[in-house]
Amino acid sequence: MKLKIDKFPEYLINFTTVDFDKYFLNKNTILDIGCGEGEFIVDLASLYPKRQFIGVEIKYGRIIKCLKKAHANKLHNVKFALCDATLFTTKVLKTNSINKVFINNPDPWPKEKHQKNRLVNLELLTGIYQKLKRKGSLIIKTDSNKYFREIKRAILKTNLSPDKSIDLLDSSIPLTKFQKFYKKDDKKIYSIKVLKK
């Protein structure tokens, strides 16, 4: 299986090298946490060629699809990390290195016994706050009202502040694969945007 991922080294992040640090120098960098099969971040990278994009995903098969999409679109401004999102955000990224973070439809783990597996929690949000640049923003979307309420309660325990502004990128955000399904079925998507002041 390793051979498949090695076919696309230009799109795969090796965060143990000096090149990883150089990737952030004087760049407007956008992070997609739990990027799935990459359709969202690849669309954004195509729309904004002057910005840098990073997708983080823990599942190998999904990362392969991300790499293939980036290669097929001949993109030069997107890379992917095969890594646990919380580990990548809290331990790998440098402080004040990210301009914007997206978390789209994280698994709500609806059964109570599984809720400890939820991605968005105080540890991740605190890590995101530290890695955002000043005035950097975080946008979270979920189809679970219960999870959304939990996310908002966790945000209140951080220094992130509500942000009602909409910039050009926010207004042109493509839908993810799941969001297209939800829209077709008239299922509500709950969204929140917060800012590091």
Domain ranges of the chain: 26-195
Identify the pLDDT of residue 104. 94
Distance from C-alpha of 102 to C-alpha of 9, rounded to nearest angstrom: 24
Pairing type for strands 161-162 and 132-142 reads unpaired
Cβ atoms 108, 85 nearer than 8 A: no
Helix, strand and coil in the chain, % to nearest 5: 40, 20, 35
The set of catalytic residues is: 107
What is the tens place of the pLDDT at every residue in 31-60? 999 999 999 999 999 999 999 999 999 999
The one-letter amino acid code at 64 reads: I
Which whole number is the average pLDDT over 138-154?
93
Fold of 26-195: Rossmann fold (3.40.50)
Kindly list the strands in the beta sheet with 132-142, ordered across the sheet, starting from the edge strand earlier in the chain. Answer: 78-82, 52-57, 29-33, 98-104, 132-142, 190-195, 161-162
Percentage of the chain lying above the pLDDT 90 cut: 63
Which of 18-32, 56-70, 111-125 has the largest mean confidence? 56-70
Phi, psi of 25 (to 5 degrees): -65, 120
What is the tens place of the pLDDT at every residue in 95-144? 999 999 999 998 876 777 767 878 899 999 999 999 999 999 999 999 88
Pairing type for strands 52-57 and 29-33 reads parallel
